Amino acid sequence: MPDADVVATWNVPLHAQVHKVEFEHGTTTGKRVIRIDGKEILRRDWMFKLVGKETFKLGEMQCTISVEALGTFAYEYTLDVNGKTFDKFKEEQNKKLHSWETTIGGHEWRVVLDKESMEVWANGNNIVTAGEFVDNGTLTHFELGKTPCRISAQSSGKKKTGVLHTLYVNNTIVPSTIDAGQASSSSS
- Residue 152's H or E segment, with its range, is strand 147-155
Same domain, 59 and 115: no
Model confidence at 182: pLDDT above 70: no
Whether 158 maps to a domain, the answer reads: yes
In a domain, 182, yes or no: no
Q: Indicate if the pLDDT at residue 179 is higher than 50.
A: no
Do 42 and 111 share a structural domain?
no
Residue 1 forms part of a structural domain? no
Same domain, 23 and 62: yes
Q: Is residue 172 classed as helix, strand or coil in its secondary structure?
A: strand
> Is 183 inside any structural domain?
no
The number of domains in the chain is 2
CA distances (Å), 137 to each of 63, 155, 156, in order?
Answer: 37, 7, 10
- Do residue 69 and residue 134 come from a single domain? no
Note down the domain range covering 19: 6-82
Is 113 domain-assigned? yes
Q: How confident is the model at residue 186 (pLDDT cuts 50, 70, 90)?
A: very low
62 and 43 housed in the same domain: yes
C-alpha 136/C-alpha 33 separation (Å) is 50
Is residue 48 situated within a structural domain?
yes
Query: Within a domain: residue 185?
Result: no
Quick check: 78 and 64 in contact, CB under 8 A?
A: no
CATH of the domain at 156: 2.40.128.180
pLDDT of 185 > 50? The answer is: no
Q: What pLDDT score was predicted for residue 88?
A: 94
Q: Which pLDDT value is given to residue 3?
A: 54
